[in-house]
Structure 1
Amino acid sequence: MFFKRLIKTIVMKYLLNPDVLDSTSVWAVFVKRLCFKLMLIKGHITNYRDGFYQVNDLLAIIGYIPLKTHRLIDQSQGTILISALGFGEIVNSISLIRGIQTLSSYSIVIISRQPQLARQLTLSMGLSVVALPYPYQFCIWRPFISYWLNKLKPVSILCIENMIEIRADMLEMAKARHNTSVLLINAHAYRKSPFLWHILEETKDQNKRRFKCVDIAGVVSEEARKYLLGYGVSDSNIIMVNNLKFDTAKHPVKIEDNEKIRQQLGIPSDAQVLICGSVHPGEEAILLNAFRDVISRPGHLELKNIRLIIAPRELYTLDPIIKSIKSLGFSIALKTASPPISRDSHTIVIVDTIGELKAIYSIADVVIVAGSMLDHLIGHNPIEPAILGKPIIVGHYMSSFKDIMDKFLQRNAIIQLQNTEELADQVAILFEHPEIRERMGSLAKAVVDECSGATEKYLDILGRLLPK
């Protein structure tokens, strides 16, 4: 740990300081590209360690298409390539995949940072999909790009929400040699990222070259439209579409009986439940202090029977979050702990699994969508608890979901904090007034129902873009 921190300090102080990052000198560009390559290698190793890659995926990174995958692709006249960066984008592509498989006979290939997760998710839903990692390293050489594209034969490339992992070279060659259409789906207005690879992409003018390849871009807000116009996308190629996340949330998931979920988590049947989803390190202290305030209020017996469930955004953050919770005087119980026992208010249940949060939301009386309590965060999706009719609280920092928040706020279907000091009072009000909870939950569900329909619109566009 000491050496890891020492190396990080040296790199940040001498190699990635602001002077180097802002410079376009030969030395600065060399340093940035070297660090970029090292970050990619570290990312691949981490993905393999965390189970997001199979062994074959390590070869696919350099352009190798596994024989079994190649045979599946050869069974159709071409492929529809879906770029889905991570878990959220993979989930958002599910409704499109279902529709595409009824619309055409083309094979569907997902490229992602988490291909194994894409395989597991699509398989569990009975969908026939090939999943591959992004082909990073080989894309430096155009002959390898050509080889990769010749194997996949893409007739259309669908980019879910962003295009940051697809090199402009690939898009340009696909359009020139394979007459591939490019559809950008659910596009946002992205704030500038501090990550090194974004800086590199901007210096190489990759963004403008990517966006120049877009045939149709579906945007979720006027702000997103202006963002794309600034990168050279023609206004005639931009259409306004409701956020695809509204459709995604409506897909049925296997939700077990509420009482069974309570038993698995050790939640008494008479207890009320507060669930905090997508929690980032540092937010647990805010949530726990507010929770302690609520259950400690004198004369409010109904508040003493609340159980708190915390679902970290990423499993690798479990250890620091658990350590922080214990330092605040609470005990913890992991969801995977066996056998489950009845928990009191001072035992915090931690969801240490992936993909189960929507089912667990079903037992909530109140939901807090975290990732929004600290100023370096940009929010998480409030639609999943909304479709279940749950009253929702979010923090002040929801910039990544501005279009969605506008729709909920217009209907008073969500509570957005101006500061974290309000959290305890807002939680207490909701638990003390079931009629407010019911009204907010009904309004939130109505917003989701009214804003659905993006999938059909994108499928109609894709149908017109595909070869006849």
Structure 2
Amino acid sequence: MNRAIYNFVFYLLLPIIVLRLLWRALVLPAPAYAKRWGERLGFVELARANRREQRWIWVHAASVGESVAISPLVTRLREQQPDWGIVVTTMTPTGSERIEELFGSDVCHVYAPYDYAGAVKRFLNTFKPAMVILVETELWPNLVHYSKKSGARIMVANARLSEKSYRGYQKFSGLGKPMLQKIDCIAAQASMDAERFRRLGVSEQALHITGSMKFDVSLPDNLPAKTAAMAQRIEGSRPVWIAASTRDGEEEKVLAAFTQIKRDIPAALLILVPRHPERFAPVERLCLKQSLRVVRRSSEESVAAATDVFLGDSMGEMLIYYGLAQLAFVGGSLVDTGCQNVLEPAALGLPVLVGPSQFNFQTICEQLTDVGALQTVADENELAREVVRLLQDDEARSAMGDKGKAAVAANKGALDRIYDLAVQYLAL
């Protein structure tokens, strides 16, 4: 497939994309998907008109995870390159909310334009960015093509390329290879990622191995106080584990594991945090259907001794939820969505369990596995067995947690390397 065919197919799919926005807004429901459609079509003049900055860097992060990953780089650019305005784009309302929480009015936030020619060109004509920074795997043919054509430098920060994605680029090499060859700088997370990019035709000059900025996770100074305040809601001293960032179809497996865990550890408490806010209510109904006693974080009720599930129905509090737990299962991994961020619980000294689907964090999962900080569980049955084992073995749990903290500390420094590259390419 080349770009002409891609554009034709994309235009045909545009009505379906709009209908999907409506479905998400009305059926899930997630009303934010019904707002600001103009931005998704590249009409961003109003957002630009309210800003005084004249020179722009465009940073694109798909959703919450990418927004958090890129936030240290955005913060440093704002501090050390104050003459540059930064426009940050996301695809999802949760990503938008996270950018607002992190930066407020320090950056300009709009939704990313859909990847068809008209929308991308309208966006570029409005902001005229000198540099485009894409996060991890957010590679879109028209975005890259027209950004390059406009004269912007293009950088991929925290770049990763799983074996699965590599095979996809090989399959559609007529579209993928020309796009990759237009990118000025790829800051790869690890040598394996760089090698896959290299095999797809990316030049040695453009490739840099910097590590992952996600290792540069910083824990807020007020986190212990916030965690202690939340912990007061939990009555008594109980074994607590968390299933974090779970996806559709995964909660059923987590609850099946929890049923088994309760047979061995009746006092166990599960903190369950679905990935997307529109799923908070359906997940609560799922728990109640299984006769589990649920307290939602938003209710402000106490988590009594008889409570089975503390449902984390809030945004931006994941570190607090992790701080309440003694071990963590990271979701998106017992269903085939590639796993979510395993470094946050590791940085807090928690043993980390994940399912077999890890392509979003493949390299990082391998690094944590190699040092003994992370264990892969094949299914809900193995998840139950490992949670029981770790909750009952303080020494094993502590050893895994210590190894995770050490691994996070040892791999810091990617932020400095990626920032230096960004400034270097910005100055060219």
Q: 1:157 to 1:48 in 2, by over 3 A?
A: farther
Match of 1:38 in 2: 15
2-structure distance, mates of 1:350, 1:83: 31
Match of 1:228 in 2: 197
Q: Decide which of 125, 147, 164 is 1:150's aligned counterpart.
A: 125
Query: 1:278 and 2:245 equivalent?
Result: yes
Structure 1 residue 242 displacement after superposition: 1.2
Query: 1:174 and 2:134 equivalent?
Result: no
Match of 1:13 in 2: none
The CA deviation string for residues 48-80 of structure 1, in whole angstroms up to 9 with x for no partner, is 66354695x3222333234452341x533x101
2-structure distance, mates of 1:122, 1:209: 35
Q: Secondary structure at the match of 1:305?
A: coil
The CA deviation string for residues 295-352 of structure 1, in whole angstroms up to 9 with x for no partner, is 323xxxxx332211111112233344334323333122221124x1342355312111
Aligned AA (1:42): L
1-structure distance, mates of 2:338, 2:144: 29
Match of 1:343 in 2: 304
Q: What pairs with 1:42-53 in structure 2 (closer than 5 Å)?
A: 42-45=19-22, 50=30, 52=32
Bigger Cα Rg: 1
Match of 2:184 in 1: 215
Structure 1 residue 34 displacement after superposition: 6.1
Structure 1 residue 448 displacement after superposition: 0.6
Structure 1 residue 431 displacement after superposition: 1.5
Aligned AA (1:261): M
Q: Decide which of 131, 134, 148 is 2:109's aligned counterpart.
A: 131
Match of 1:186 in 2: 158
* TM-score, length of structure 2 as denominator length: 0.87
1-structure distance, mates of 2:97, 2:250: 31
Instruction: Verify the 8 A CA contact 1:103 1:463 in the aligned structure 2.
Output: no
Instruction: Verify the 8 A CA contact 1:47 1:114 in the aligned structure 2.
Output: no
Aligned AA (1:96): L
Count the aligned residue pairs.
418
1-structure distance, mates of 2:396, 2:408: 19
Query: 1:295 and 2:257 equivalent?
Result: no
Structure 1 residue 225 displacement after superposition: 2.1
1-structure distance, mates of 2:32, 2:222: 23
Query: 1:262 and 2:231 equivalent?
Result: yes
Q: What pairs with 1:418-457 in structure 2 (closer than 5 Å)?
A: 418-457=378-417
1-structure distance, mates of 2:34, 2:337: 31
Structure 1 residue 190 displacement after superposition: 4.0
Structure 1 residue 451 displacement after superposition: 0.8
Q: 1:47 to 1:311 in 2, by over 3 A?
A: same
Q: 1:115 to 1:208 in 2, by over 3 A?
A: farther
Instruction: Verify the 8 A CA contact 2:236 2:305 in the aligned structure 1.
Output: no
Q: 1:64 to 1:221 in 2, by over 3 A?
A: same
Instruction: Verify the 8 A CA contact 1:80 1:107 in the aligned structure 2.
Output: yes
RMSD (Å) for aligned C-alpha atoms:
3.1
Match of 1:96 in 2: 73
Q: 1:402 to 1:360 in 2, by over 3 A?
A: same
Deviates more, 1:457-466 or 1:317-326: 317-326
Instruction: Verify the 8 A CA contact 2:147 2:154 in the aligned structure 1.
Output: no
Q: Secondary structure at the match of 2:314?
A: coil
Instruction: Verify the 8 A CA contact 1:306 1:345 in the aligned structure 2.
Output: no
1-structure distance, mates of 2:349, 2:111: 36
Q: What pairs with 1:383-394 in structure 2 (closer than 5 Å)?
A: 383-394=343-354
Gaps of 5+ in 2: none
Deviates more, 1:328-337 or 1:152-161: 328-337
Instruction: Verify the 8 A CA contact 1:115 1:132 in the aligned structure 2.
Output: no
Gaps of 5+ in 1: 1-21, 298-302
Q: What pairs with 1:307-456 in structure 2 (closer than 5 Å)?
A: 307-338=269-300, 340-345=301-306, 347-374=308-335, 376-456=336-416
Q: Secondary structure at the match of 2:298?
A: coil
Structure 1 residue 205 displacement after superposition: 4.2
The CA deviation string for residues 86-111 of structure 1, in whole angstroms up to 9 with x for no partner, is 11111111100111112312100012
Instruction: Verify the 8 A CA contact 2:43 2:122 in the aligned structure 1.
Output: no
Structure 1 residue 135 displacement after superposition: 2.0
Q: Secondary structure at the match of 1:110?
A: strand
Q: 1:284 to 1:174 in 2, by over 3 A?
A: closer
Match of 1:64 in 2: 43
2-structure distance, mates of 1:43, 1:99: 36
Instruction: Verify the 8 A CA contact 1:115 1:131 in the aligned structure 2.
Output: no
Q: Secondary structure at the match of 2:76?
A: helix
Instruction: Verify the 8 A CA contact 2:261 2:268 in the aligned structure 1.
Output: no
Deviates more, 1:321-330 or 1:397-406: 321-330
Q: 1:315 to 1:226 in 2, by over 3 A?
A: same
The CA deviation string for residues 437-462 of structure 1, in whole angstroms up to 9 with x for no partner, is 22211111111111111111011011
Q: Secondary structure at the match of 1:466?
A: helix
